[in-house]
Amino acid sequence: MSAPEQDSPGVRLRPRFGLVLTLLVAALAVAALATFLVVGDPLGMLLHGWGVVLTAYLVWLLFWAPSVTIADHAVIVDNPLRRVTVSWSAIERIDTRWSLRLYVRNGSVTAWSAPAPSRYAMARVSKTELKGLPESTYGPGASVGLGDLPESESGLAAYYVRRRWEQLRDDDALTAAVSVTTQWLWPRIAVLLALTAATVAGFFLP
Protein backbone atom coordinates (compact mmCIF):
# COMPACT_ATOMS: atom_id res chain seq x y z
CA MET A 1 0.00 0.00 0.00
CA SER A 2 1.38 3.40 -0.91
CA ALA A 3 2.30 5.50 2.10
CA PRO A 4 0.72 8.96 2.28
CA GLU A 5 2.87 12.01 1.78
CA GLN A 6 1.68 13.64 4.98
CA ASP A 7 1.21 12.22 8.44
CA SER A 8 -2.27 13.56 9.23
CA PRO A 9 -5.98 12.88 8.74
CA GLY A 10 -7.23 13.22 5.20
CA VAL A 11 -4.75 10.83 3.59
CA ARG A 12 -5.80 8.01 1.27
CA LEU A 13 -4.07 4.63 1.16
CA ARG A 14 -4.05 2.38 -1.91
CA PRO A 15 -2.18 -0.85 -2.77
CA ARG A 16 1.30 -0.23 -4.15
CA PHE A 17 0.96 -2.83 -6.87
CA GLY A 18 -2.46 -1.54 -7.96
CA LEU A 19 -1.23 1.45 -9.94
CA VAL A 20 1.51 -0.53 -11.68
CA LEU A 21 -0.87 -3.31 -12.64
CA THR A 22 -3.54 -0.88 -13.81
CA LEU A 23 -1.12 1.08 -15.99
CA LEU A 24 0.33 -2.10 -17.44
CA VAL A 25 -3.07 -3.53 -18.37
CA ALA A 26 -4.21 -0.15 -19.72
CA ALA A 27 -1.14 -0.02 -21.96
CA LEU A 28 -1.84 -3.54 -23.23
CA ALA A 29 -5.47 -2.60 -23.85
CA VAL A 30 -4.46 0.44 -25.90
CA ALA A 31 -2.06 -1.71 -27.89
CA ALA A 32 -4.76 -4.30 -28.52
CA LEU A 33 -7.22 -1.67 -29.72
CA ALA A 34 -4.57 -0.05 -31.89
CA THR A 35 -4.03 -3.41 -33.59
CA PHE A 36 -7.51 -3.16 -35.08
CA LEU A 37 -6.54 0.13 -36.69
CA VAL A 38 -3.19 -1.16 -37.89
CA VAL A 39 -4.86 -4.02 -39.75
CA GLY A 40 -7.48 -1.64 -41.12
CA ASP A 41 -10.46 -2.89 -39.15
CA PRO A 42 -11.95 0.09 -37.24
CA LEU A 43 -15.41 -1.49 -37.40
CA GLY A 44 -14.04 -4.59 -35.70
CA MET A 45 -12.65 -2.39 -32.95
CA LEU A 46 -16.02 -0.72 -32.44
CA LEU A 47 -17.84 -4.04 -32.36
CA HIS A 48 -15.40 -6.30 -30.54
CA GLY A 49 -13.03 -4.02 -28.64
CA TRP A 50 -15.36 -3.68 -25.67
CA GLY A 51 -14.01 -6.83 -24.05
CA VAL A 52 -10.55 -5.28 -23.98
CA VAL A 53 -11.92 -2.11 -22.39
CA LEU A 54 -13.91 -4.18 -19.89
CA THR A 55 -10.77 -6.07 -18.85
CA ALA A 56 -8.84 -2.84 -18.25
CA TYR A 57 -11.77 -1.39 -16.32
CA LEU A 58 -12.05 -4.48 -14.11
CA VAL A 59 -8.36 -4.28 -13.24
CA TRP A 60 -8.77 -0.62 -12.27
CA LEU A 61 -11.94 -1.39 -10.33
CA LEU A 62 -10.41 -4.23 -8.34
CA PHE A 63 -6.83 -3.10 -7.84
CA TRP A 64 -6.62 0.70 -7.93
CA ALA A 65 -10.05 2.19 -7.19
CA PRO A 66 -10.35 0.64 -3.69
CA SER A 67 -8.81 2.66 -0.87
CA VAL A 68 -8.86 3.50 2.83
CA THR A 69 -9.10 7.18 3.74
CA ILE A 70 -8.20 8.48 7.19
CA ALA A 71 -10.51 11.48 7.49
CA ASP A 72 -11.10 13.85 10.41
CA HIS A 73 -14.59 12.54 11.05
CA ALA A 74 -14.33 8.91 10.00
CA VAL A 75 -12.56 6.08 8.23
CA ILE A 76 -13.80 5.85 4.64
CA VAL A 77 -13.47 2.40 3.09
CA ASP A 78 -13.86 2.40 -0.68
CA ASN A 79 -14.38 -1.12 -2.01
CA PRO A 80 -14.93 -1.81 -5.72
CA LEU A 81 -18.65 -1.06 -5.78
CA ARG A 82 -19.44 0.25 -2.32
CA ARG A 83 -18.24 2.96 0.06
CA VAL A 84 -18.58 2.58 3.82
CA THR A 85 -18.00 5.53 6.15
CA VAL A 86 -17.28 4.53 9.74
CA SER A 87 -17.20 7.25 12.39
CA TRP A 88 -14.31 6.96 14.83
CA SER A 89 -16.66 6.41 17.75
CA ALA A 90 -18.24 3.44 15.95
CA ILE A 91 -15.01 1.44 15.87
CA GLU A 92 -14.86 -1.20 18.59
CA ARG A 93 -11.96 -3.30 17.37
CA ILE A 94 -9.47 -3.38 14.51
CA ASP A 95 -8.38 -6.70 13.06
CA THR A 96 -5.95 -7.64 10.27
CA ARG A 97 -6.09 -11.44 10.15
CA TRP A 98 -7.15 -11.65 6.50
CA SER A 99 -7.36 -7.94 5.66
CA LEU A 100 -8.04 -4.70 7.48
CA ARG A 101 -11.38 -5.17 9.23
CA LEU A 102 -13.13 -2.62 11.41
CA TYR A 103 -15.50 -4.16 13.91
CA VAL A 104 -18.56 -2.10 14.76
CA ARG A 105 -21.59 -2.72 16.95
CA ASN A 106 -23.61 -4.78 14.47
CA GLY A 107 -20.92 -6.31 12.28
CA SER A 108 -17.70 -5.42 10.55
CA VAL A 109 -16.33 -3.54 7.56
CA THR A 110 -13.59 -5.15 5.45
CA ALA A 111 -11.21 -3.11 3.30
CA TRP A 112 -10.66 -4.68 -0.12
CA SER A 113 -7.56 -2.56 -0.63
CA ALA A 114 -5.74 -3.77 2.50
CA PRO A 115 -5.19 -7.54 2.36
CA ALA A 116 -2.94 -9.27 4.86
CA PRO A 117 0.48 -10.50 3.65
CA SER A 118 1.54 -14.09 3.09
CA ARG A 119 3.01 -16.02 5.99
CA TYR A 120 6.48 -15.64 4.49
CA ALA A 121 6.46 -11.88 5.08
CA MET A 122 7.38 -12.27 8.76
CA ALA A 123 10.83 -13.56 7.82
CA ARG A 124 11.68 -10.26 6.14
CA VAL A 125 10.79 -8.04 9.10
CA SER A 126 13.27 -6.99 11.78
CA LYS A 127 12.36 -6.51 15.43
CA THR A 128 13.19 -2.82 15.10
CA GLU A 129 10.35 -2.36 12.61
CA LEU A 130 7.89 -3.75 15.15
CA LYS A 131 8.65 -1.09 17.76
CA GLY A 132 6.70 2.12 18.21
CA LEU A 133 3.44 0.86 16.74
CA PRO A 134 0.08 1.96 18.23
CA GLU A 135 -0.53 0.17 21.54
CA SER A 136 -3.64 -1.64 20.30
CA THR A 137 -1.46 -3.37 17.70
CA TYR A 138 0.25 -5.58 20.26
CA GLY A 139 -1.10 -8.86 21.56
CA PRO A 140 0.03 -10.92 24.58
CA GLY A 141 3.74 -10.59 25.24
CA ALA A 142 4.00 -7.60 22.88
CA SER A 143 3.41 -9.92 19.94
CA VAL A 144 2.49 -8.54 16.51
CA GLY A 145 0.20 -10.42 14.18
CA LEU A 146 1.15 -11.18 10.60
CA GLY A 147 -1.48 -8.77 9.24
CA ASP A 148 -0.11 -5.96 11.42
CA LEU A 149 3.34 -5.91 9.86
CA PRO A 150 3.92 -2.23 9.04
CA GLU A 151 5.21 -2.95 5.52
CA SER A 152 2.08 -4.89 4.55
CA GLU A 153 -1.08 -3.46 2.99
CA SER A 154 -3.21 -4.35 6.01
CA GLY A 155 -0.55 -3.35 8.52
CA LEU A 156 0.04 0.14 7.13
CA ALA A 157 -3.69 0.87 6.96
CA ALA A 158 -4.20 -0.47 10.48
CA TYR A 159 -1.29 1.63 11.71
CA TYR A 160 -2.91 4.88 10.59
CA VAL A 161 -6.39 3.89 11.73
CA ARG A 162 -5.20 2.75 15.17
CA ARG A 163 -3.01 5.76 15.75
CA ARG A 164 -5.77 8.23 14.89
CA TRP A 165 -8.35 6.28 16.90
CA GLU A 166 -6.05 6.09 19.94
CA GLN A 167 -5.30 9.82 19.69
CA LEU A 168 -9.01 10.66 19.74
CA ARG A 169 -9.58 8.22 22.59
CA ASP A 170 -6.74 9.63 24.69
CA ASP A 171 -7.97 13.20 24.05
CA ASP A 172 -11.47 12.13 25.07
CA ALA A 173 -12.63 13.27 21.64
CA LEU A 174 -14.65 10.20 20.67
CA THR A 175 -18.20 11.50 20.53
CA ALA A 176 -21.32 9.59 21.49
CA ALA A 177 -22.54 9.73 17.90
CA VAL A 178 -22.01 6.34 16.29
CA SER A 179 -22.39 6.24 12.53
CA VAL A 180 -21.78 3.59 9.86
CA THR A 181 -23.15 4.54 6.46
CA THR A 182 -23.07 2.56 3.22
CA GLN A 183 -23.20 4.06 -0.25
CA TRP A 184 -23.35 2.11 -3.48
CA LEU A 185 -21.04 3.63 -6.10
CA TRP A 186 -23.57 3.79 -8.91
CA PRO A 187 -21.33 5.44 -11.55
CA ARG A 188 -18.90 2.52 -11.27
CA ILE A 189 -21.76 0.03 -11.40
CA ALA A 190 -23.28 1.75 -14.43
CA VAL A 191 -19.96 1.67 -16.34
CA LEU A 192 -19.47 -1.99 -15.43
CA LEU A 193 -22.95 -2.94 -16.65
CA ALA A 194 -22.59 -0.91 -19.85
CA LEU A 195 -19.21 -2.42 -20.74
CA THR A 196 -20.44 -5.92 -19.93
CA ALA A 197 -23.53 -5.45 -22.10
CA ALA A 198 -21.43 -4.08 -24.98
CA THR A 199 -18.99 -6.97 -24.69
CA VAL A 200 -21.76 -9.59 -24.74
CA ALA A 201 -23.49 -7.85 -27.65
CA GLY A 202 -20.22 -7.88 -29.60
CA PHE A 203 -20.20 -11.68 -29.57
CA PHE A 204 -23.54 -11.79 -31.38
CA LEU A 205 -22.74 -9.17 -34.00
CA PRO A 206 -21.07 -10.12 -37.27
- Please report the pLDDT score of residue 186 as a whole number: 98
pLDDT at residue number 17: 87
- Give the C-alpha separation, 151 to 160, whole Å: 12
- The order of strands in the sheet holding 11-13 is 11-13, 67-70, 74-78, 82-87, 180-184
Q: What gap in Å lies between CA 157 and CA 78, rounded to an integer? A: 13
Whether residue 184 is contained in a domain is answered as yes
Average pLDDT value over all residues in the chain: 84
Percent of the chain surpassing pLDDT 70: 80
Q: Report the pLDDT value the prediction gives residue 174, as an integer from 0 to 100.
A: 83
d(CA 202, CA 196): 10
pLDDT given for residue 156 in this prediction: 87
pLDDT of res. 6: 47
CA angle centred on 52, ends 50 and 53, rounded to 5°: 65
pLDDT of residue 124 exceeding 80: no
Q: Is residue 127 scored above 60 in pLDDT?
A: no
Percent of the chain with pLDDT over 90: 46
Mean pLDDT, residues 98-110 taken together:
91
**Domain-embedded: residue 6:** no
36 is a domain residue: yes
What is the DSSP annotation of 87-113? EGGG--EEE-SSEEEEEETTEEEEEEE
**Three-state DSSP class for 61?**
helix
pLDDT digits (tens, 9 = 90+) for 42-61: 887 888 899 999 999 999 99
Domain count, the chain: 1
Please, which pLDDT band fits residue 205 given cuts at 50, 70 and 90? confident
Q: Is residue 101 part of a domain?
A: yes
Query: Dihedral of the CA atoms 49, 52, 58, 63 (nearest 10)?
Result: -140
Structural domain harbouring 186: 11-204
Please enumerate in sequence order all residues whose Cβ is within 8 A of that of 199, keeping only pairs 6 or more positions apart, or say none.
50, 51, 54
Measured between alpha carbons, how far is 144 from 130 in angstroms, rounded to an integer?
Answer: 7
User: Does pTM surpass 0.85?
Assistant: no
In a domain, 2, yes or no: no
